[in-house]
Amino acid sequence: MTKSVDLVFLWHMHQPDYRDYASGDFLLPWVYLHALKDYSDMAYHLEQHPKMKVVVNFVPILLDQLEDYQQQFASGNIRDPLLILLARENLNDVSDAGRDLIIDSCFRSDHNKMVAPYPFYKRLSDVYKLLEPGGTVAISYLSGQYLADLLTWYHLAWCGESVRREHDLVISLMSKDENFTYEDRMSLFDLIGSTISGIIPRYRALAEKGQIELSTTPHYHPLAPLLLDIHSGRESQPDSSLPQSQSYPGGRARVQTQLQQAIETHQSRFGVKPQGVWPAEGAVSTAMIGLLAEQGCRWAASGEGVLVNSLAHAQQSFESRAQYLYRPYRLQGVANSVHCFFRDDRLADMIGFEYSNWNGQDASLHFVEQVEAVADQAEHGKIPLVSVILDGENAWEYYPYNGYHFLNDLYTALEEHPTISTTTFGGYLNVLEAGGDHAKTSEGNLPGLVAGSWVYGTFSTWIGSPEKNHAWDLLCAAKLKYDMVMAAGRLNDEEKRAAERQLSSCESSDWFWWFGDYNPSHAVASFDRLYRHNLMHLYQLLKLEVPENLNTPISQGGGIVEAGGTMRRGV
């Protein structure tokens, strides 16, 4: 019989802040779309499989935006342009800008999984492709009814599989095919609002039952090790190019602030202090783990590459992954109180990038076999812990039926498995500290961590190229001005809070991730504009002149043609 093995899933939920703080408007729709499709489906699968235990990591800025949308629907004051258009009664007299927004937005989904399966949605796409070569004049021939049908189908395609199965409205509208009325669109609009409003309460209920552990990330998803020490980018890549700025001014205080904000808002939302942290991008360093220890965090997690680099640096060698990967580690010194877990990159990437092309049952069986193999390779008397950590939202767009059959088959197989026990990091540590069977898995020890992220164990996805480095230099320059204005006492308390919030948004790791020729050109340009817009607004809040160089795009454009909506990520 297969030996026992513990399995922890950590589903990471994150979207950066898409709000324009000057106007209050949302500039991109990804928060509410992922709520409609992914956050709802992921909660549904857990509700349907009560024996499954997982960790769900919510980045606080995502939760802030979900609550913002909830308030918009409750008040009727909608500040998302696409939702405003969905609820617009007459689309025949929509402005050119509104028409462009609808067309530009509503075909940016994975064509094969989210457009082509629906004949009438595909027909709308075919009509547009027919007219597109004719430019603005040809596009102007598209009627208000065409725009209404396109908006409706776009949102229907973004409905999660659980939303479709639980609400007859979705099936009714999809069966209607075309000629959607204003009443149809408003019914769909109301469903979107109720789905979003239920997201946080559903996960809170799962946590209160003890089925899931909710963890957090520093509030605005900053790349903390680089804020602490920008030269940590060379720990894993000594020859890496770095920005001209030698440091991020006051980086330690900024990381502390964002971490404290995350813990406080988590406790206010869910009634308990988070036990653990998935740092943004799984990016860790010895200094970062030390800050987590100061805040009383029990655990943190990162990528397998970080562990491999750290073991090599400590001159610890092993014959196989089975001997080093499937156990927690502690660092020496002040960070010793934090248990560090490391993701199985191969298993996580199979879910994130490969299984979408498999039959759902075949994929789930293969995954279970891989976990069983880990148990079989474990030392006698040792119970390995397999950590599977990945994005909980973007991958499902590439699965048939939003991953419904894969997740249902996988959770069913794991619930019934005699030797694989799903748990949470907090639950695992409780048993470990109590001296239970989990204690048979010996902890590893490291003098420190080689700073890196879940991607290759390095920071190359966020720093090192000319465009990424330039983006860092722009942020560092803005932070110097921020510190100068704050020290001069030129702002009142309300103005200080607004500037601090804007700075926090500019510190998000997402801006730097999008600069690169591996990303779609349309998405790169969009995030480039949004990042520079955020920096411009920070200068305005500081009552300073906006630097001229912020008017110039950072990127020369991505290197691939965009095929879907949000860029696919593993975490």
Domain presence at residue 362: no
The CA–CA distances, whole Å, from 24 to 20, 69, 261, 439, 507 equal 5, 11, 21, 51, 19
Hey, which bits of 449-500 come out as E strands?
none
Choose among 267, 425, 261: nearest CA to 343: 425
Choose among 249, 274, 250, 248: nearest CA to 261: 274
Q: Do residues 277 and 215 lie in contact, with contact meaning Cβ atoms separated by under 8 Å?
A: yes
* pLDDT the model gives residue 562: 39
Tokens of 560: 């691939």
Give the model confidence (pLDDT) of 191-227 as tens digits.
999 999 999 999 999 999 999 999 999 999 999 999 9
| Helix, strand, coil shares, percent, the chain, to 5 | 55, 10, 35
* pLDDT the model gives residue 439: 53
Give the model confidence (pLDDT) of 419-456 as tens digits.
999 999 999 999 988 886 655 567 999 999 999 999 99
Give the model confidence (pLDDT) of 454-486 as tens digits.
999 999 999 999 999 999 999 999 999 999 999
61 pLDDT higher than 50? yes
* pLDDT the model gives residue 319: 87
Please give the full DSSP string across 109-155, using - where no structure is assigned.
S-IIIIITTSHHHHHHHHHHHHHGGGHHHHHTT--HHHHHHHHHHHH
* pLDDT the model gives residue 438: 56
Average model confidence (pLDDT) for the chain? Answer: 94
Q: What are phi and psi for residue 215, nearest 5 degrees?
A: -115, 180
559 pLDDT higher than 90? no
Q: Do residues 358 and 369 lie in contact, with contact meaning Cβ atoms separated by under 8 Å?
A: no
528 pLDDT higher than 90? yes
Give the model confidence (pLDDT) of 100-134 as tens digits.
999 999 998 888 889 999 999 999 999 999 999 99
What's the 3-state SS for 517-542? Answer: CCCEHHHHHHHHHHHHHHHHHHHHHC
74/77 Cα distance (integer angstroms): 8
Q: Which has more pLDDT, 177 or 441?
A: 177
Give the model confidence (pLDDT) of 377-426 as tens digits.
988 888 999 999 999 999 999 999 999 999 999 999 999 999 999 999 99
Choose among 46, 37, 45: nearest CA to 161: 37
The number of distinct structural domains making up the chain is 1
What is the pLDDT averaged over residues 85-113? Answer: 94
* pLDDT the model gives residue 262: 98
Banded model confidence at residue 309, pLDDT cuts 50, 70, 90: very high
What is the pLDDT averaged over residues 502-524? Answer: 88
SS3 70: helix
Domain presence at residue 112: yes
Banded model confidence at residue 566, pLDDT cuts 50, 70, 90: very low
* pLDDT the model gives residue 264: 98
* pLDDT the model gives residue 381: 82
Tokens of 213: 């552990």
* pLDDT the model gives residue 564: 35
Domain presence at residue 301: no
Domain presence at residue 552: no
Q: Do residues 70 and 76 lie in contact, with contact meaning Cβ atoms separated by under 8 Å?
A: no
What is the pLDDT averaged over residues 55-72? Answer: 98
Q: What are phi and psi for residue 244, nearest 5 degrees?
A: -65, -35
* pLDDT the model gives residue 441: 66
Q: Do residues 281 and 453 lie in contact, with contact meaning Cβ atoms separated by under 8 Å?
A: yes
What is the pLDDT averaged over residues 90-97? Answer: 94
Ranking 223-232, 351-360, 372-381, 518-527 by mean pLDDT, the lowest is 518-527
Q: Do residues 251 and 474 lie in contact, with contact meaning Cβ atoms separated by under 8 Å?
A: no
Q: Which range marks the domain in which residue 91 is found?
A: 30-38+63-205
1 pLDDT higher than 80? no
Strand partners, 330: 445
Instruction: Determine what percent of the chain is predicted with pLDDT higher than 90.
Output: 88
Contacts for 134 with CB less than 8 Å, ≥ 6 apart: none
DSSP run (H or E) holding 300: strand 299-302
* pLDDT the model gives residue 437: 62
Give the model confidence (pLDDT) of 227-270 as tens digits.
999 999 999 999 999 999 999 999 999 999 999 999 999 999 99
Banded model confidence at residue 555, pLDDT cuts 50, 70, 90: confident
